[in-house]
Each structure stands twice: as structure tokens, then as C-alpha cells.
Structure 1
Amino acid sequence: MDCLTEDEENKDCVIEYEDIKPRKSNKFYDSQKSVNINDISEIENSLKIKIPEQLKEFLLKHNGGMPENNTWFDPKHEYVTIHELTPIKHYKKFNNDKNYLMDTIAKNLWDRNLLAKNLLPFARDAGGNYFCININNGKIYYCTFDTWSDNLSVSDNQSKSTLFLCNSFNEFMSKLVCEDDL
């Protein structure tokens, strides 16, 4: 994540981690039409996976959208901002184009070996990198694709581009801060 935060204009800017706290309420904007448990089951069947419960609960409340607290910020003073959370159905922004839905994105990344098949992308940043949940243990990762090297194996590339963030989806959401507060 070092490459995400160093910006020539802000090299002298020091952010004190203790001073950056999530806002008490995390409002969501631009969520898509609500989904139900059957919609989630369709995605699970399509992908042949089980979505971890915490993400499932979230999807039932917010089908995609943008949280007010939209930035992952860690104690090493590194941060990355969510561009949007990925809907599983009903994406009016792109006339319901399936290419922008969670299952199509996952299949595409898995088929191209850009993402390990145990990682399900649920959000992306503005650069096309993804926040993913491990479908086996619920842990959250940030996966970048701008570091891919033809000199490395697929597994080495996946390992190099996958950064552990936290132990659960709820922990991830609770630690997001508002980009405006940085």
C-alpha cells in the first residue's frame, strides 16, 4: 500500500492515526434497489460459493453504493478510498449491465487468474483495484492489479498483489473513515 499514499504534494503532511476516527453514523449513498435472500442464493449458486454471513447481511441492507466513511486508513498512515461497493443486482447507473455486478466481476477476475478463487470482490477503488472477502474465513484483503509482472508465476503475482486488511467484514466497515476527515 506504500504506493497508494505517497503523493508529491503531501510528502510533508503528517496524519496522526489517533486523530482520525470513523464518523459515528456511516450513511450510504447510491445503493441500488434492494435484494433478498433469494437474490443472494442465485449469486452463490452461480459462483458455486457461500458468501460469508457478515457480507450477506450487508447486501440485504445495502446493495452496492457508497459509504460516507469511504476510506481504509491504517496505523502506518496508508489509506485507500472506496470508489463504490459492488451491487449484486439492479445496477441502474449502467442500465443493469451485468459486467458491473459482483458475480460477473468475480468470474472475470477468477477466469483471468488475477484473483484467487477464494477471494470475492465486494468493492473497488478508483484505479480498478478491489477490496475482497475470503469466502473461507471472512478475512478482508485489498487486491491491486497494477503490480502484475510477467516475470512472476500466477500464484506469486496474486500473493504480491494481495494485502491483508482485517479479520472480518464488520471490522472493515467499522474502521472506515471519511476521506474528508483526512
Structure 2
Amino acid sequence: MNIDRLKINRGGNPIPIAGFSGDESAFLVVEKLIGFKLPDTYKQLLLKHDGGHPELDTFVLSPTNLFSINNFYSLENKKYETLGNAISRWGKVLGAGMLPIARDGGDNQFYLDLTQSTPSVWIYLHDENEARVKLANSLEEFIDELIEDPDDD
């Protein structure tokens, strides 16, 4: 998983500071909140970039099904919605073991299914009859398949 290739930024500007640099007990707080251990790959993403907008933001499921990330949730960076707030807003809707990690421009939720031995990535489309669509078999696969939005020309 190459996190650097995402070119995560804030408002179009590169992030000058590394990701989450607080006390790692913050991870334990989230784990207690959701009742599941956070995957190491997700921790790596937070440690590298604590929230932000990826330049490579689009996942192509098929030529007519493209899903774009507006921003990843942060652990403690108040410039973005925090993971704790996202869990509070979406936890009951998504269900036990589902961890919101990002949102699109319409507040649809990208989430990890932590009930699987290798957490898969899904999107919850609240604005499309609450459809749930599996996007990737792992966070690594999801990150590696993100591309620049073809409509951003």
C-alpha cells in the first residue's frame, strides 16, 4: 500500500506536517468505542495523514460506477471531521464492526467491515436507498486502485 501516491492535501495545499502525532492511546479510545481492533494498515494511514483530501480520490467499480472521496476522517485534526464524530453519527446506521473512514461530497460513507479477518472496504449510499456496495477486499487494494477523478479535467 503506497499511501504517498494519494497526495493527500488540505484545500489543495500539501500537508506540511506528518499525520497523527499524538499519543497512541487515541487508537485505543477508538477501538473501545467500536469494539474492534483497528487494522494496522488503517493506523498507518492515520499516522501518515491525519485526515485530508486525496488527489487520487476516485475508485472505479465499473465504467458507470465511480466513487470519489471528499476527505478521510482524522483522529484528532479538527480541520476535518474526526473519526469519533463520524462513528457517533454513522455507527448505528452502518452497524457493529463497521468503521467509517472517509466520506464523499454527499456524505456517503466509505467504511471498513472489521468483522472479516481482512477488513474489506464498502460504501454506504444513504442518498441511493441506503445501498451498500463492496469496493475492495482490503484497504490496501482500495488505496492502490484509487485514481484521479476523470471529471476533474
Normalising by the smaller structure, the TM-score range is: 0.7 to 0.9
Give runs of aligned pairs for residues 50-129 of structure 1, distance below 5 A: 50-92=37-79, 100-111=81-92, 114-129=93-108
User: Which stretches in structure 1 are left out of the alignment for 5+ residues?
Assistant: 1-23, 94-99, 149-156
Q: Aligned partners of 2:44 and 2:112: how far apart in 1?
A: 14
Offset of residue 76 of structure 1: 4.0
2:123 to 121, 139, 142: 142
Q: Aligned partners of 1:81 and 1:59: how far apart in 2?
A: 19
8 A Cα contact 1:35 1:59, kept in partner: no
TM-score by length of 2: 0.80
| Aligned-partner residue type, residue 121 of structure 2 | I
Bigger share in strand: 2
Secondary structure of the 2:43 match is: helix
Offset of residue 120 of structure 1: 0.6
Offset of residue 180 of structure 1: 4.4
After the TM superposition, which of the residue ranges 47-56 and 63-72 deviates more from structure 2? Answer: 47-56
TM-score by length of 1: 0.68
Secondary structure of the 1:35 match is: coil
| Aligned-partner residue type, residue 40 of structure 2 | E
8 A Cα contact 1:119 1:135, kept in partner: yes
Q: Percent identity?
A: 24
Offset of residue 108 of structure 1: 2.4
Q: Aligned partners of 2:28 and 2:53: how far apart in 1?
A: 23
8 A Cα contact 2:34 2:96, kept in partner: no
Q: Deviations 1:40-95 (Å, cap 9, x if unpaired)?
A: 122212333211221111111111111110111123432021111111112135xx
Q: Aligned partners of 1:175 and 1:102: how far apart in 2?
A: 23
| Aligned-partner residue type, residue 58 of structure 2 | T
Distance 1:181 1:110, change over 3 A: closer
8 A Cα contact 1:85 1:122, kept in partner: yes
After the TM superposition, which of the residue ranges 167-176 and 28-37 deviates more from structure 2? Answer: 28-37
| Aligned-partner residue type, residue 29 of structure 1 | N
8 A Cα contact 1:35 1:89, kept in partner: no
The structure having more radius of gyration, on CA atoms, is: 1
Distance 1:27 1:147, change over 3 A: closer
8 A Cα contact 1:64 1:86, kept in partner: yes
Count of aligned residue pairs for this structure pair: 140
CA RMSD of aligned residues (A): 2.3
- Give the ranges of 4+ consecutive aligned residues of structure 1 lying more than 3 Å apart after TM superposition: none
Q: Aligned partners of 1:107 and 1:53: how far apart in 2?
A: 22
Offset of residue 173 of structure 1: 0.5
User: Which stretches in structure 2 are left out of the alignment for 5+ residues?
Assistant: none
